[in-house]
Chains A and B, each alone.
Chain A
C-alpha cells in the first residue's frame, strides 16, 4: 500500500546524501591531493574528479541495487521502518566508502611527501669522498 511511497522516499534521501558526501569529498579532497602531487593542481583536480566519479558509481549502484524488498509496507509504521532500515544500510555503506576515500587520499599524499625525504635511517658513519 505504501510501498511505492517508501521506495521514492528511500531513493530521494539516499541520492541526496550520496551527492552531499561526494561534494564534501570533492571539495576537501582537493587540498590533500594538491599536497600529494607537490602543487600540481591540474593533476590533483583530475585524480580528484576520477575518485569522485568512482564514488558516485559505487554508491548510486548500491542504492538502486538495494531498492527492492520482500517486506510489506501496509501501514505507516511498517513503511517508516522499511525506509529507516534501508537508509541505515546506505548510510553505513557511505560511511565506509567515505573513510576508504580518506585512506586513499592520505596514502597518495604520504607517497608524494615520502619521495621528497632522505633515507629513513640515520647514517652509521661519515667519510670523506673524493
Chain B
C-alpha cells in the first residue's frame, strides 16, 4: 500500500481543521486528502457515502467512519501506536462511541470551536463586495 485516499466532509469546519492537521503530519503512507463532495472524488469513488469519513487504499480496501479515523492515525508516523490502542478490544467500543458522538454533531462542534469550513469561507468571501477602483 502506497497511497491512502481520505474523503472528508468539506462542509464541516472540524473536518477541514483535521485535514489541515493531517497534512502537516509525517506519514508512513502518502495521504491524498479529497473533499467527498468534490467532482474528482465523486467521479473516482462514485459508490462511497458522501456524508461519512472514508479512507480508500490504492488496492481497493475501504474503511468508513471510526475505522477510517483509526486508519488515518495508523498512516501517521507519530500516531501509529495510538491507532493500535484505539483498535484494541477494550478501548474500541468507547472510541467508536466518541467518534460517532463527534461525527454526528460535527456542525455543532465546529461552530462551538469557531471553526469555519471551506464551503462557509467560500460563501462568506463571495458575499464580500469589492469596491471598484476609483477612476481618475
Q: In the complex where A123-B61, A129-B56 touch, is A115 in contact with B28 (Cβ < 8 A)?
A: yes
B65-98: CB near A (< 8 Å → 1, else 0) gives: 0010011001000001101101100000000000
CA separation between A27 and B66, bound complex, in Å? 43
Choose one: B47, B70, B80; the contact of A121 (CB below 8 Å): B70
Contact of B1 with A by CB under 8 A: yes
A127 near B63 with CB under 8 A, answer no
CA separation between A122 and B56, bound complex, in Å? 12
A114 near B60 with CB under 8 A, answer no
Contact of B62 with A by CB under 8 A: yes
CA separation between A123 and B74, bound complex, in Å? 13
Contact of B40 with A by CB under 8 A: no
Q: Which residue of A is nearest B65, CB measured?
A: A124
Q: Which residues of A contact B84 (CB under 8 A)?
A: 114, 120
Choose one: B1, B56, B74, B81; the contact of A127 (CB below 8 Å): B56
A127 near B87 with CB under 8 A, answer no
B80 near A126 with CB under 8 A, answer no
Tally of A interface residues using CB under 8 Å: 16
CA separation between A104 and B112, bound complex, in Å? 41
A120 near B83 with CB under 8 A, answer yes
CA separation between A115 and B44, bound complex, in Å? 29
Q: Which residues of A contact B67 (CB under 8 A)?
A: 121-124
Contact of B58 with A by CB under 8 A: yes
Could you tell me the distance in whole angstroms from the C-beta of B125 to the nearest C-beta in chain A? Answer: 34
Contact of A4 with B by CB under 8 A: no
B62 near A125 with CB under 8 A, answer yes
CA separation between A84 and B64, bound complex, in Å? 62
Q: In the complex where A118-B1, A119-B74 touch, is A126 in contact with B87 (Cβ < 8 A)?
A: no
Q: Which of B87-131 contact A (CB under 8 A)?
A: 87
CA separation between A125 and B60, bound complex, in Å? 8
Could you tell me the distance in whole angstroms from the C-beta of B49 to the nearest C-beta in chain A? Answer: 10
A114 near B87 with CB under 8 A, answer no
Contact of A23 with B by CB under 8 A: no
Nearest 5 CB-CB pairs, A to B? Answer: A120-B87, A123-B61, A125-B62, A121-B67, A124-B64
A-B contact pairs, 18 of them (CB 8 A): A111-B81, A119-B63, A119-B70, A121-B70, A121-B87, A122-B67, A123-B57, A124-B62, A124-B64, A124-B67, A125-B64, A126-B61, A126-B62, A127-B48, A127-B62, A129-B56, A129-B57, A129-B58
